[in-house]
Amino acid sequence: MFIFPQETWVHVVSVQEGDITRLYFNGTQVQEITTKGCYSYPKTGHFSPLYIGSLASGAADGKDNFSAYGTDGKIDEVYIFKRALTAADVKALYASPN
């Protein structure tokens, strides 16, 4: 488990490639998990909405619940790519000044 430092900028990247999700902090991979089926709704087959800064969980009434697992920090410079980034790509993004 990664504990975010207080009052410090952290570069966070999540890469979804097939059934694998890789999580990087400050250019270094810190976790890899199997996420088969996590990004589609079983009833419709459509992709789930993307939530940045919170984790939406389905409630019994079918509505998303944003009250749990929200960030208390600020989010800046969000990028979404059409391909899975490599570890070298992530390191290059972290090293770039913008």
Evaluate if pTM is beyond 0.75.
no
pLDDT of residue 13: 93
Tokens of 19: 């059934």
Percent of the chain exceeding pLDDT 90 equals 29
66 contacts: CB under 8 Å, gap ≥ 6: 51, 54, 56
Per-residue model confidence as pLDDT tens digits over 46-80: 566 667 776 655 555 555 555 556 667 788 888 98
pLDDT of residue 88: 97
Residue 21 has pLDDT above 60, yes or no: yes
Contact 69/54 with Cβ under 8 angstroms?
A: yes
